Structure 1
Amino acid sequence: MRITSTSCICPVLVCLCFVQRCYGASHHGSIKVTRNQTKHIEGETEVHHRPKRGWVWNQFFVLEEHMGPDPQYVGKLHSNSDKGDGSVKYILTGEGAGTIFIIDDTTGDIHSTKSLDREQKTHYVLHAQAIDRRTNKPLEPESEFIIKVQDINDNAPKFTDGPYIVTVPEMSEMGTSVLQVTATDADDPTYGNSARVVYSILQGQPYFSVDPKTGVIRTALHNMDREAREHYSVVIQAKDMAGQVGGLSGSTTVNITLTDVNDNPPRFPQKHYQLYVPESAQVGSAVGKIKANDADTGSNADMKYTIINGDGSGVFSISTDKDTREGILSLKKPLNYEKKKSYTLNIEGANTHLDFRFSHLGPFKDVTMLKIIVGDVDEPPLFTMPSYVMEVYENAEIGSAVGTVTAQDPDTANSLVRYFIDHNTEEDSYFTIDASTGTIKTAKIFDREETPWYNITVAASEIDNPELVSHVPVGVRILDVNDNPPELVREYDAIVCEDSKPGQVIQTITATDKDNSANGARFHFSLEEGLSLNPNFTLRDNEDNTASILTRRRRYSRTTQDIYYLPLLISDGGVPPLSSSSTLTIRVCACERDGRVRTCHAEAFLSSAGLSTGALIAILLCVIILLVFSLAIVVLFITLRRSKKEPLIISEEDVRENVVTYDDEGGGEEDTEAFDITALRNPSAAEELKYRRDIRPEVKPAARHHPSSSLDSIDVQEFIKQRLAEADLDPSVPPYDSLQTYAYEGHRSEAGSISSLDSATTHSDEDYNYLGDWGPEFKKLAELYGEIESERTT
């Protein structure tokens, strides 16, 4: 089988292409069918099979963008088995078969029915097969071949990244690279010159040039000046076919901007300037502006202004406004037209950023002269001092002079000045001022302890021009006089332990004085005069504005007296000295052995007697047990008498058993007050000296002694009545009701025995009140026993 094709690039080459392709088809596309050959080897017949070779031919070619009315002929398929009788049928399959490419199944001619675009698809892969038309059996194996789309110059070069924006420094050397542009052509770069691009410049000469092969744009002039021209628009063209006539082209625009370099020094428009400044200008305020021009931009135009010399360099200063690049002239010192009427300044403006490549164009600075004219202004009065400080004693009378302020008219007219106080605060109402002399006087009474300092504002104005007013601050310090007595810094809570020893410090006190240190730095402490010597406490002045309270005797008792009042006298060291009296309250407390306070409250009699709560409970339980036991004995006794009918022999003595238990070990040999046995003794032994708690301890109560004989013979009830009368009439006892407990029972009871011997036949009428709360119970028992005895005898 062989293939032929007439597709060529151009008509001129049709014959050459056809000859080449036909030659290739005849040379490579033939299919040779091998025949069976037999070979006899040693009597045997050997059959050799030569296999068929596949179709071999060159590629088919079809021109892209074919616009003819008839289908474009591509080539021809032919099998060696085709005898020309139409028995061979050609079949075409693969990419585009039947749609783009069709085949005549009898002749094997292939045609293209559509216009193809190489830029979309460069080739098509197809398969050809020859079969027997009658039997549909393949005559040749299926073979693969390619139809390539032949390129034509149908795409112009394109700049995909344009338009371009680029910068280049001014004053650059000629040939400085600016930018490289690149154009792309969609045509086949491997075939012909359809994709071979050449660059040229259409606009932008003679400032810039472009390399025709690489597309690199360069400067074409030396030292291009931004100040002369800043922006350039350059048009670059790219043409294919190596720039030959008939080639396609595309163009792009490159916008080039020259960036600034510091190649221009600053320049003042004038060499001499004149500025008017009134003498009333405030110090620190801006009084004028000056500017030097610079053709550069950005940081290359930044500059700094300096006063290099002149007689006004100490009066004026200059700074630079970074936004406007102006020199701001400010006032450093106040102006006075009467003293100096003009100043001269030499001002320099220099660039702050220099480019040493262009130093030959310098110097990059300029100097100008500025003359300042001082204007005369009617000024307000001027005080002789910027502020005043005055002093006055707090006891000064109303109208006392405090001090004097002075102001003068600074102008040549020297007008008269009047003074007044700006009454803006309440402090200003404490003072008045003489409008002519400026003397300040007091208008109220001062209290340094309340307000030690006053701040007022004094104003001065010219009589001829009252609107011109100046002000000055005046501070008035109130001097102290000794008008406050000293007093304790706080209410002290002094405590003394019951087991304290003589000379022991129980409290240190401190005083304070509202006056300043000059009138109260040294305080003196003492006990109040006119009182007898205190037997309990004394005071020691430590001579450091403190005093110590010391004990004077050994041991204190809460049951005897739990609070003491100690009058104190405190005086200061002022002139004249002042003093005050105070009373220190001292409480008596029970303390641990290490000195810690245990309790400061007075306890009941039994507790003071050394009986704990457990001991009290034990005593009550014992009493109850004794009562129950006594009742049981009585019942048992009655039962025995009923059974034996024998009289009991009972002693006539009044037998009573008292069981008292104490659960207090005491504090050892030195502890003489752990248990107060006084309450259990005869009342004649319980008398001791007692001091009242609500009056000064120096006043001692009258002694209350009674003859022992009267106490021995008195009855308990009478004894209690006497004690009550003494408590009511004694002036040393507290003026309020108190509970006093006496444990004295008397020498003997007048009541008879409750035994059966004395109450066998009669009911007992004895008074059992002397037994306390248990009297009624014993009375009931006696009555019950009498009834039992009466029934027995009956």
Structure 2
Amino acid sequence: MTAYHIKLFAEGKAFCYSTVFDLKIIRNDLPNIKSLRSDKDRGDGTARYVLSGEGAGIIFRIDEKSGDLHATQRLDREEKASYTLQAQAFNKITGLPLEPATEFIVKIHDINDNEPKFTKAVYTASVPEMSDVGTFVIEVNATDADDATYGNSAKLVYSILQGQPYFSVEPETGIVRIALSNMDREVRKEYQVIIQAKDMAGQMGGLSGTTMVNVTLTDVNDSPPRFAYSSYHLSTYESAEIGSTVGRIKANDGDEGENAEMKYRIVDGDGKEYLDIITDEITQEGVIVVKKKLDYESKRVYTVKVEVTNTHQDPNFTVLGPFLDTAIIKVTAKDVDEPPVFSRPQFVFEVNEDTPKGIAIGTITAWDPDATHYPIQYAIDQHTDPERLYHIDPKNGSITIIKSLDREVSKWHNISVLASEMNNPHQRSRVPVLIKVLDVNDNAPEFAMIYETFVCENVRAGQLIQTISAIDTDDPLVGHKFVFSLSSMNPNFTIFDNEDNTARILTRRSGFNRREMSVYYLPVVISDSDYPIQSSTSTLTIRVCSCDATGNMRSCSVDALLLSAGLSTGALVAILLCVLILLSEFMQTGRKEPLIISKEDIRDNVVSYNDEGGGEEDTQAFDIGTLRHPEVVESNQLRRDIIPEMLFPYHRPSPMKECADVRDFIISRLQENDTDPSAPPYDSLATYAYEGNGSIAESLSSLESSATEGDHEYDYLSNWGPQFKKLADMYISKDTGVAN
């Protein structure tokens, strides 16, 4: 049955009152809601009623004659709770309204035709394990489409159908709470709770709906780590390297996530010095590693006590007891054949550089660490002692000197000594041996540099002309201390020791004359202060020069310049003569085509020869001269690397009488080059006295040229002879041979 509330509001004469009709009808009925009748309806059938507004003609209709109002279909309050309609009476004959239209509202009364529905079909919640009773878990919410303001159709009550005794729900609010204490995640992690919502305040006949709540207990650190065994047994070879893994152990923890993170440490045991434990953060295992070399011969079993604890501890649960566990780990060292062991990681010896050969400078000691204790033999790695300076006794390890040492050559000698077992030479060890060569005063001091010293002709007595210093390759402990002196009394110069490893050279007189004496040699004695005292004499060369009034050098004597350059007077004259001869040859060849016109004509290609001589005709390169003058081609071409039988049919006598030495020198050198098969070929720009056939340059020699060409004068020595003689007379005295 559905109750409809119909309120009619009439505003006219006929409807000057309002009436509320309460009708209860059965669904699918078309109830007669109310009869609407106008006061001006005389009952003679002339009045006609018309209905308009929401649902008029579709949901509601009116009887034109009687004014009865009817519902034509089911009404649902949840879809529409009220309708606004207008009713009006008309005269059938005239069609005029009998009265103004009247508006009225039809309200639909609610019945309990909707069950409660939850906002989610499945809820998900989580709560920490070991939570107290009454701890909030989740709040569920259901709604009812019925009218909450009318009766109890929408008044809901919550109850729990499944999930007891672990959870409870508040009837009015739908809040789910913990109902059992000490719920342990390690025992049970997930729960399914079914909650019911019922309308009509939970009374009989009410409608209901249900939902499911999946509750997960989250982890708290309430479980301490525990070892599976009280002791573990591991083993490794005594040769295991430091840091190598011996084995792994793992404790169990019922927690998860960071609550299950553990750390291990060694707290006690006689192997604490040799073993260590590292926590593997990924696997949460304890990794036993070698901390210090194990020795089977000295100790067979190493014992440590290992402790494991949680990294993150909850103070709410640590009060229940210590959150740690311990276990004993025993590591057995297994024997291996080990190489010899030296008594030191390195050996350092000192030896004086003057130590005689055959003297021992130190002893290397090593032994077999194994229980067998095999004898050891020693040897020097020859790659570290390439000069073979040292020898080691293969039995006792004594190192001796077999060659003289020189600290000035090398201050340190770094060698390697090998020790191996006699019964097993493959078991070998190496140790560095550092030998420091100590200094002995075995080198004399000398000038620190080459001094260019000069004295002015107008110098005064007591004037400083040079400050000298010395060096010594020795290395005394307290530093160098040099003493300077003259080997004998010198009338021209004296020396003053500054006592700071330098000395001053002073003049003892004035008025030097470079024409009388252009160079002076001053022997200086330099001594050191170490034991035994070493001394040497170094000669200071002093040139006499012409100076201006302020002491600045203007010029020096020729002898002095030559001496400073390391050349004699005769050598200088010979060089000058050769230069003049070469210049004269080039000056007289002005009309001839040069052998090489430009730098571009120099061929830079690789040439090959068929024999040891060689010449331009032997090369595989192009002849530039032939390319420029193709008309010069002769069938009979002579080799340029073979001396012809008749080199020159005619020799003009040389008028060079005054310069016979220079002439003989040049001629002898020409002959040597002509007859030497290994002399450079033409292609290397060496000029020969005989050019051979086919050369467009013809002969360029001023000494061996043919006399048939009358337009050239090749006798340069006869023309230049008097000038060379005069030049030589200017520099060389016939009586003394000393430069003027």
TM-score (normalizing by structure 2): 0.58
**Aligned residue identity for 2:425:** P
- Partner in structure 1 of residue 678 of structure 2: none
- Partner in structure 2 of residue 255 of structure 1: 215
Deviations 1:285-304 (A, max 9, x none): 44344444333344444555
Are the equivalent residues in 1 in contact too, given 2:732–2:739 (CA < 8 A)? no
C-alpha displacement of 1:496: 13
Distance change >3 Å, CA 97–CA 333, structure 1 → 2? same
- Partner in structure 2 of residue 222 of structure 1: 181
Deviations 1:213-238 (A, max 9, x none): 21111222221222221222323333
* 1:386 aligns to 2:357 (yes or no): no
| Equivalences for residues 120-519 of structure 1 within 5 A | 156-160=115-119, 163-243=122-202, 244-245=204-205, 247-262=207-222, 264-351=223-310, 353-359=312-318, 361-392=320-351, 403-421=362-380, 433-440=392-399, 448=407, 451-481=410-440, 513-518=472-477
Are the equivalent residues in 1 in contact too, given 2:168–2:176 (CA < 8 A)? yes
| Equivalences for residues 524-563 of structure 1 within 5 A | 524=483, 533-534=492-493, 541-546=497-502
**Aligned residue identity for 2:345:** P
**Aligned residue identity for 2:13:** K
- Bigger mean CA deviation after superposition, 406-415 or 483-492: 483-492
Are the equivalent residues in 2 in contact too, given 1:346–1:369 (CA < 8 A)? yes
**Aligned residue identity for 1:577:** Q
- Partner in structure 2 of residue 629 of structure 1: none
CA distance in 1, matches of 2:109, 2:287: 78
Distance change >3 Å, CA 529–CA 105, structure 1 → 2? farther
Deviations 1:509-533 (A, max 9, x none): 7665554344962344568978653
Larger Rg: 1
Distance change >3 Å, CA 409–CA 428, structure 1 → 2? farther
Identity of aligned residues (%): 45
Are the equivalent residues in 2 in contact too, given 1:294–1:301 (CA < 8 A)? yes
Distance change >3 Å, CA 69–CA 456, structure 1 → 2? farther
| Equivalences for residues 759-778 of structure 1 within 5 A | none
CA distance in 2, matches of 1:63, 1:691: 154
Q: Which has the higher helix share?
A: 1
Are the equivalent residues in 1 in contact too, given 2:445–2:534 (CA < 8 A)? no
What 5-or-longer segments of structure 2 have no aligned partner? 513-519, 565-726
C-alpha displacement of 1:206: 2.4
**Aligned residue identity for 1:190:** T
**Aligned residue identity for 1:544:** D
| Equivalences for residues 663-678 of structure 1 within 5 A | none
| Equivalences for residues 731-750 of structure 1 within 5 A | none
| Equivalences for residues 20-35 of structure 1 within 5 A | 21=6, 24-25=7-8, 28-32=9-13
- Partner in structure 2 of residue 577 of structure 1: 534
Distance change >3 Å, CA 261–CA 56, structure 1 → 2? farther
Distance change >3 Å, CA 199–CA 483, structure 1 → 2? farther
Deviations 1:763-783 (A, max 9, x none): xxxxxxxxxxxxxxxxxxxxx
Are the equivalent residues in 2 in contact too, given 1:81–1:88 (CA < 8 A)? no
C-alpha displacement of 1:336: 3.3
What is the number of equivalent residue pairs in this alignment?
565
- Partner in structure 2 of residue 521 of structure 1: 480
Deviations 1:308-353 (A, max 9, x none): 5444444444454444444444444443333333344444444555
**Aligned residue identity for 2:214:** V
Distance change >3 Å, CA 695–CA 183, structure 1 → 2? same
Are the equivalent residues in 2 in contact too, given 1:156–1:250 (CA < 8 A)? no
- Partner in structure 1 of residue 605 of structure 2: none
SS in 2 for 1:223: coil
Distance change >3 Å, CA 427–CA 30, structure 1 → 2? farther
What 5-or-longer segments of structure 1 have no aligned partner? 1-9, 34-53, 557-563, 592-596, 604-688, 698-723, 738-794
Are the equivalent residues in 2 in contact too, given 1:522–1:573 (CA < 8 A)? yes
CA distance in 2, matches of 1:414, 1:195: 100
CA distance in 1, matches of 2:27, 2:539: 132
C-alpha displacement of 1:152: 5.7
TM-score (normalizing by structure 1): 0.55
Are the equivalent residues in 2 in contact too, given 1:487–1:582 (CA < 8 A)? no
Are the equivalent residues in 2 in contact too, given 1:449–1:515 (CA < 8 A)? yes
| Equivalences for residues 88-99 of structure 1 within 5 A | 90=50, 92=52
**Aligned residue identity for 1:385:** R
C-alpha displacement of 1:279: 3.3
| Equivalences for residues 774-793 of structure 1 within 5 A | none
SS in 1 for 2:252: coil
